[in-house]
Amino acid sequence: MEDNVTYTVEQVKSRISEAFPTAVKFESKVKPRRLFMTADKGSLLKLCMFMKDQLGFNQCSLVTGVDWCDRMQVVYHLTSYSSNITAEIVVDIPRDNPEIDSITPLWGGANWHEREAYDMFGIVFKDHPKMERLLLPADYTFFPLRKDCKTGGP
């Protein structure tokens, strides 16, 4: 697809809901040039491929994790330069087995974001080219931004 085709938020919304009628749910939050949705763990990679190839979302600006104590979330921000839209995808993953497909093969910019999410939350991104610690020393055994991680004084 050409990069210079522009879509409005409604067009993007309808295209996605056509392609993923059950897996993707849109949130009612409305902001100009923003799009909020939640997706299934299994359909995330397909959704990202669809958004990249069909809708021209050519940048992944953010991948991070959220620890809600009973579950974990992975948050993606995808941006389209041509249509000036930033889409937020939130994916719930179970806390005892935090695994999700990597989107690094689609956007190289997600590489270090995913490694940092692994570093801080212990979320394992499958098929990531180098799933190792990025910021912390390699011999750390805990994930510091999880809510059950205890910090203590000397």
Chain positions contacting other proteins, by CB under 8 A = 136-137, 142, 144, 149, 151-154
Contacts with 55 (C-beta within 8 Å, 6 or more apart), sequence order: 1, 7, 12, 15, 16, 80, 83
Least separation in angstroms between CB 123 and other proteins: 18
In the complex with other proteins, which residue's Cβ is closer, 1 or 136? 136
The full length of the chain comes to: 154
Question: From CA 66, how far away is CA 122, in angstroms rounded?
Answer: 11
In the complex with other proteins, which residue's Cβ is closer, 32 or 154? 154
In the complex with other proteins, which residue's Cβ is closer, 1 or 149? 149
Least separation in angstroms between CB 95 and other proteins: 20
Least separation in angstroms between CB 110 and other proteins: 24
In the complex with other proteins, which residue's Cβ is closer, 70 or 132? 132
Least separation in angstroms between CB 117 and other proteins: 17
Question: From CA 151, how far away is CA 149, in angstroms rounded?
Answer: 7
